[in-house]
Amino acid sequence: MSQTDRPLREIKSFGRRDGRPLSKKQKHLYDTLLPDLALPTDEPLSATSLFGDERPLWLEIGFGGSEHLIRRARLNPDIGLIGAEPFIDGVAKALTGISDNNLKNVRLHADDIRQVLPNFGEAAFERVFILFPDPWPKRRQQKRRLIQPAFLDELARAMKPGAALRFATDVKSYANEALWRFLQHGAFEWTAENAADWRDQPEDHEPTRYQLKKLGDCEPVWLEFIRT
């Protein structure tokens, strides 16, 4: 059974999961490359099991068109980069980038990270990126947003003390809610010292296709945290 056919527990996401039909090349990569890169869903996960050594692990949750994911992987070949994305279009773009750049340091979960995050051991990740996650802008939908107490419990467990987390959104209500939830949780320290720290794009950031569309209701807000 191919990755496109394999059933997984459904977790609702904002927008469509499929989108435009895949090109012939993308379909080929989905069928041939993704099985080699896909995270096992029913066994413990670690740097050793995924990459054969004890390299540091980074995690990008919801990598969209994979621009940021691919650049990070190219610039950090000694890092194991885990990417999770439920949308087929985004996974196909990531597979193309991995193939074109001959990247060996990326593993993918073609669905919601909440399905596999519990399979990682404690203190597994040294860096986490959550860039422009599903906004669920309507008030009745906001309970579906990723940043919820149970998710932060699991994320905190999987991050090393001192690990860095970057959250970005261009939806004002989500920025306010996410900051409040991170601070209420207690395992994350906000590193901002002045307004520029959340208003200015970080120097090492790779703009994403979604970000450049400017679909939100505010300029991007950048929240940086340290796992205490």
Torsion (CA) 46, 48, 50, 55 in degrees, nearest 10: 90
Degrees, nearest 5: CA angle 85-87-90: 75
Strands of the sheet with 188-190, listed across from one edge: 106-109, 80-84, 57-61, 125-131, 159-169, 221-227, 188-190
Catalytic residues: 134
